[in-house]
Amino acid sequence: MRTTPKADPALLVVEDDAEIREQMKWALSSDYAVSEAGDRRSAMAAVRREAPQLVLLDLGLPPAADSASEGLAALREILQFNPGTKVIVVTGNGEQAVALEAVERGAWDYVSKPADLKALKVILERAHHMATLEEALRRSHQVPTDGTFCRMLGQSPGIRQVFEAVRRVASTEVSVLITGESGTGKELVARAIHALSARKDGPFVTINCGAIPETLLESELFGHEKGAFTGAHRQQKGKLEYAQAGTLFLDEIGEMSLPLQVKLLRFLQDGQLERVGGRELIRVDTRVLAATNVDCREAIASGRFREDLFYRLSVVEIAIPPLRERGEDVLLLARAVAQRVSNDLNQRVKGFSPAAVQALQAHAWPGNVRELENKIQRAVLMAAGPTIEPADLDLPGGEPAADQRTLREARAQLEKECIQRALLAENGNISRAAEQLGISRQALHDLIGKHGLANPR
């Protein structure tokens, strides 16, 4: 049985130098169906005619070859015609600022002249892979329209901008700095970038730079050799090596010491590291995403953070809005969390009273989404009926529920809450939950029946 040969992916080379166009065509035609254009007008004609998946775009195009204006205009028009096109821009040496501007405007990646052919082929291969995945996703109608996005939830303009930024940067290899207050969901954003990237089948490794003592953080990141320091009884890989072919997420990057910032910058520049106590340079293919809740520019001004590392990490910066600026997302998130917790605990909570809704909307949520999740979990446990009341939320202004209950009712509610928490903590294991509560298995069974509880396992 004869099969039709698979067509090569279409690649458009936009370059005003005819000799360079011919060199690119000769070098890439074995893997791609290469077409050429020498200016913006002919480039757009080719885009409309052939709809290429990939475009290699020189930013210095006539009639303004000495600036990037024509190239950036071509980038805008290409992405307006087809937002899924992967555009790799080509810039001259010393024009990194222009290249970064192009990435912020939607370019997939950039290379500097003279382009390293081997590196360019890798970039094109990854771009083609991502374009193919995105096209399959669009065809299968898997793009959500209900406010959910990679385990995140929201419909406010601010969070929608975050979702769109994630979509754009996920298909690139650029470094991303995720900023926002504590509890806004920075790790979820990092996980979303990884899940939508070409590295999704590789590991996603996290490290909290603020939770590990400075003396141990270097070893955690870069690993160490046997005998490097007291207690180093064997060779140990670091998080960067464990994230090979995947993504490393550096949370609270603003807490990293200046000497370690220098070592991280060196890795980001050349992709090589030395373990603590080692002499061998180890090449590692890891994408680094970072997050912080501090103002890095203020930290730079005060000498606590290196400016060169900041610009290396923040090729693209994604700022997550605080919950107080997300409007109706508060209720959307509260209802989703209440439903999930109710299902996990087999509770009969169905929703929020009007007064509870008002309390949710009036609260400033200084702890953001993390605080909201904690308050809703408590409310589901404390609710005496199918509706959550303001007192259940334990928010400022809420009346204490104990004032309206008898001592017997308050004791019964506390007893029920303790049992539910123990069962949930032990994943429904009766023996371990009874041990945690300091009672026998039979006594726990009796109490479960008394309160009409179901085992959450």
Work out the burial of residue 86: count CB atoms within 10 Å of its CB; fewer than 13 is exposed, 13-18 middle, 19 or more buried: buried
Residues in the chain: 457
The reported pLDDT for the residue numbered 439 is 82
CB atoms under 10 Å from CB of 3, counted, come to 5
Residue 144 has pLDDT above 80, yes or no: no
pLDDT tier, 397 (very low <50, low <70, confident <90, very high otherwise): low
pLDDT at residue number 136: 60
123, burial (CB in 10 Å: exposed 0-12, middle 13-18, buried 19+): buried
Q: Is the pLDDT of residue 173 over 60?
A: yes
39-71 pLDDT per residue, tens: 999 999 999 888 899 999 998 888 887 888 888
Residue 391, token pair as written in the block:
């007192």
**Residue 373, both tokens:** 């999740």
CB 180 within 8 A of CB 186: yes
Query: Where residue 140 falls among pLDDT bands split at 50, 70, 90?
Result: very low
Structure tokens at 169: 């940067």
The single-letter DSSP state of residue 425 is H
Residue 431's φ and ψ, nearest 5 degrees, are: -65, -50
- DSSP string covering 176-239, please? EEEE--TTS-HHHHHHHHHHTSTTTTS-EEEEETTTS-HHHHHHHHH-B-TTSSTT--S-B--H
Q: Provide the 3-class DSSP secondary structure of residue 321.
A: coil
CA angle 234, 240, 242 (to 5 degrees): 65
| Cα dihedral value 60, 92, 48, 52, nearest 10 | 170
Q: Which residues pair with 55 in a beta bridge?
A: 12, 87
Is pTM beyond 0.85? Reply is no
* pLDDT of the residue at 3: 41
- Residue 135: pLDDT over 80: no
Domains identified in the chain and CATH numbers: 10-139 (3.40.50.2300), 148-321 (3.40.50.300), 325-450 (1.10.8.60)
**Predicted pLDDT at 94:** 67
Cα(264)–Cα(94) distance, rounded to whole angstroms?
Answer: 23
Phi and psi for 212 in degrees, rounded to 5? -115, 130
Strands (E), 391-443: none
By three-state DSSP, how is residue 292 classified? strand
